[in-house]
Amino acid sequence: MKKTLLTAIVMVLAGASVPVLGGAQGTGTTQVTPPAQGQAQGQGRRGGPPPTPEQIAENERRARLRGEYSRYRANNDLLYYHLDVRIDPATKLVTGKNTIRFRMLGDDTRIQLDLYANLNVDRIVQGTTELKYSRDANTVYVDFPSTLKSGSVQSIDFFYSGTPTQTGRFGGFVFGKDPAGRDWIYTACEGEGAAIWWPNKDQWRDEVENMDLSVSIPSALTDASNGRFVRKTDLGDGFTRWDWKINYPINNYNVSVNIAAYQHWQEKVGDVTMDFYVLPEDVERAKPQYAQAKGMMETFEHFFGEYPFVKDGYKLIHVPYTGMEHQSAVTYGNGFQNGYGGGNRDWTGVGISLKFDFIVVHESGHEWFGNAVSAADASDMWIQEGWCTYLEGLYVERMYGLADAIKYLNGYKPKIQNQMPIVRERGLHRTPSGNDQYFKAALMLNTLRSVVNDDRKWMKLLRDTYDTFKYKNSMTEDIVAFFNKQTGMNLAPIFYQYLRHTAIPVLELEFDAAAGTVRYRWKVDEASFTMPVRVGSENAWQTITPTTEWQTMKTTQSKESFMAETSRYFVNVNKSEG
Ligand SMILES: [Zn+2]
């Protein structure tokens, strides 16, 4: 464990709203001001000398400071933020305050908040009382002059200022320019954390119940943020304040500003307002592509019911990086082309990806799994990414049929690495390494569908899972327990084989041609693993239920012709002669 940890820490915090592409990563003609790499505090620098043991230890300490649900986080429950910021591209300064309201869950005198070390804490006040604080890396401990009683509701104003860091795969916080030289300012900080640009309780377990967001920017520009647009106010000094109301719980990293010379139009699907933002030069290119969002909305509403953030509406907002699931303000940078990665790239290589725009479908799918249903710890991030990848499959199934969906999901197989378990140590903020949390987890769900072996039950199970976990932050164990309860089966060993180990199940088959038999068992890491699987031949599958112990069945088939239905069960098959 120790060794894998060391290598992992340096590659951690890139952020991962979308899987990493192999090869070119351009997103079309509007890709400008690519983010600088590796500037964030306390993180490994790509391409530089390898980190020293001291740096590695410090990185781990910081990942824990950030990822652990420590005493000073667990002693309170977030209720509300009002983030009120002025963003000035001329000085590259962000100035403002976050009003943080929380309920104490125990008696205490201190809470833990987060703000990157390069940003100034101007002052922290409660009413008229200035509060003491101390800083440790990107953490800010706030101390109160007397004990805050359990159950009491507290409110503080955290004033700050500075120039946020541009870093990581999507930029963190970027003061950029569009191709015409106008300001294009945006945030995308899932890996780095929201504290890269504003003070908050920066962890995954606890979310505010709702939030106000006020963004003051030069009056010629438009801000597209999360939530429902309330009003804009001319401040009389060349700046205009845009007020947004977020009516639902929201992950910190989803809170975003997208500031540009946007043009904007609105459409509707049922009761859901759909607002589209794009640079003026790209409106004509964007319109047919953005139209796919309506089919996306109808499709996911078919499977999971009403869009989770109806009061806030849905937005699709043009940005210069690939895309991100910012809640009710999905950002898009896929070059107004189908596939993923620009240039009409069939990135799964099985002839399906070019039928739709990956970023529209994947990032918007996160509204259901990722934003409504959310993981409580970064180690459980497959709940967002594996499920959302499976939703791509559901989209294909609804649009083009089940056969295409199975083909599409199996198209992900070559991208699976099986080198590191998907779910690892908790309380250590770190994006699960590689893409297995996307593709392997999606193929695990595809496998579980075959185990449930009843499509009506399966679709109901998906819907019930969504309904049960929406607006909550959950752990892998919660999902597994729910699946067990709903199906009456013990699916835990199957989940954990895929999530907690590197190897996928191997179906061992040992043929005895003379006796006309085949012995079979699973080779797995999970004790008490048992899983049915369809074997035989294409048009005459029969279901067997191997365990980890040998069983024997009759077969008239040869070793060569005997198969397992590996498109529906993500397993390897190992054949031998006894
Ligand atoms: Zn994603």
Task: Give the start-end residues of each E strand in 505-570.
Answer: 506-512, 517-523, 533-537, 540-544, 551-554, 563-564
**Ligand 1 centroid – CA 107 distance (Å):** 38
Exposed/middle/buried for residue 176 (C-beta within 10 Å: 0-12, 13-18, 19+): buried
- Assign residue 488 a region (left: φ > 0; alpha: ψ between -120 and 50; beta: otherwise): left
**Ligand 1 centroid – CA 385 distance (Å):** 5
Closest to 360 (Cα-Cα) out of 260, 467, 288: 288
**Ligand 1 centroid – CA 37 distance (Å):** 21
**Ligand 1 centroid – CA 185 distance (Å):** 22
**Ligand 1 centroid – CA 324 distance (Å):** 7
Exposed/middle/buried for residue 58 (C-beta within 10 Å: 0-12, 13-18, 19+): middle
Contacts of 540 (CB under 8 A, 6+ apart): none
Class of domain 365-500: mainly alpha
Closest to 19 (Cα-Cα) out of 405, 386, 537: 386
Which strand (E) or helix (H) includes residue 284? helix 283-290
Q: Are strands 166-167 and 171-177 parallel, antiparallel or unpaired?
A: antiparallel
**Ligand 1 centroid – CA 416 distance (Å):** 16
> How would you write the pLDDT of the chain (578 residues) with one tens digit per residue?
333 333 333 333 344 577 876 533 333 333 333 333 333 333 344 567 899 999 999 999 999 999 999 999 999 999 999 999 999 999 999 999 999 999 999 999 999 999 999 999 999 999 999 999 999 999 999 999 999 999 999 999 999 999 999 998 899 999 999 999 999 999 999 999 999 999 999 999 999 999 999 999 999 999 999 999 999 999 999 999 999 999 999 999 999 999 999 999 999 999 999 999 999 999 999 999 999 999 999 999 999 999 999 999 999 999 999 999 999 999 999 999 999 987 778 889 999 999 999 999 999 999 999 999 999 999 999 999 999 999 999 999 999 999 999 999 999 999 999 999 999 999 998 888 889 999 999 999 999 999 999 999 999 999 999 999 999 999 999 999 999 999 999 999 999 999 999 999 999 999 999 999 999 999 999 999 999 999 999 989 999 999 999 999 999 999 999 999 999 999 999 999 98
**Max Cα-Cα span within the chain:** 92
**Ligand 1 centroid – CA 384 distance (Å):** 7
**Ligand 1 centroid – CA 455 distance (Å):** 25
Alpha-carbon gap, residue 134 to 569, rounded angstroms: 53
Q: Is the pTM of this model over 0.85?
A: yes
**Ligand 1 centroid – CA 17 distance (Å):** 4
**Ligand 1 centroid – CA 553 distance (Å):** 43
**Ligand 1 centroid – CA 300 distance (Å):** 15
Q: Extract the tokens encoding 231.
A: 């009003």
- DSSP label at 5? H
**Ligand 1 centroid – CA 19 distance (Å):** 7
**Ligand 1 centroid – CA 362 distance (Å):** 6
Q: Extract the tokens encoding 202.
A: 């920066």
